[in-house]
Amino acid sequence: MKPPDPAALPHSPAAERNRAPILAVLRALLAPGGRALEIASGTGQHAAHFAAALPGWRWQPTDVAAECFGAITGWAARAGAANVAPPRRLDVRDAPWPSEGAPFSEPFDLIYSANLLHISPPECGPALMQGAARHLAPGGLLVTYGPYLEDGVPTAPGNLAFDQDLRRRHPRGPAPPRGRGAARPGRRPAPARTPRPAGQQPAAGVRAGSLECPPARYQSHS
């Protein structure tokens, strides 16, 4: 089968920019092989890139929107990533996971999500932690990427502006992670920002996924 035309696939410039630094962190954290569950796969660019670079890992993409499935499958085919499973529909607030079809029958060694927590309803934070506690294997990792504000740690002005805009539009704001089965998060500093073409100005949502935002790590103790 001929690989899909890249021009015909939905494309996220932010995912294109941050995939290499995130992959570097994953390489440092992960064993040579395992089972990965990605929450909110979106276009599928991360799933395709990570699975192609980590052939010992079986990657299970998911998204709440089934209309993303064609893009997820297309990017995996373009990357030649045969270790990407067919996407499943998953809303983190549902239990069990996934939201449709047979529940996952085996635990995952990695649950990964990028740019979900800061733009989702506040109940999604606790739901992600609780779902991870249910579905992570002992010693498994929950790795998230996004614009996290930390006391005493400078952040990009774009992240602050985007946070203020989200709070205006959603006054309830994000809920702090709660639940059992997760250890204290670890922090991995992100590399320097990936250069952009001259004159290109990112949208607020792209800044939210910028490289000042370090992946956070939670380890299962179940």
Sheet arrangement for strand 186-187: 88-89, 57-63, 34-39, 108-114, 136-145, 216-219, 186-187
What integer best gives the mean pLDDT of the chain?
Answer: 79
At 77-136, the pLDDT tens digits run: 999 999 999 999 999 999 999 999 999 999 999 999 998 988 888 899 999 999 999 999
pTM: 0.78
Q: What is the mean pLDDT of residues 31-55?
A: 97
What pLDDT was estimated at residue 157?
Answer: 85
What pLDDT was estimated at residue 207?
Answer: 23
The H or E element that residue 163 is part of is: helix 157-169
Query: With bands split at pLDDT 50, 70 and 90, how would you rate the model's confidence at 160?
Result: confident
- 3-state SS, residue 62: strand
Parallel, antiparallel, or unpaired: how do β-strands 108-114 and 216-219 relate?
unpaired
Q: How far apart are CA 132 and CA 111, in angstroms?
A: 7
Nearest of 73, 121, 112 to residue 93 by alpha carbon: 121
- 3-state SS, residue 21: helix
Is 80 exceeded by the pLDDT of residue 45?
yes
Contact 96, 43 (CB under 8 A): no
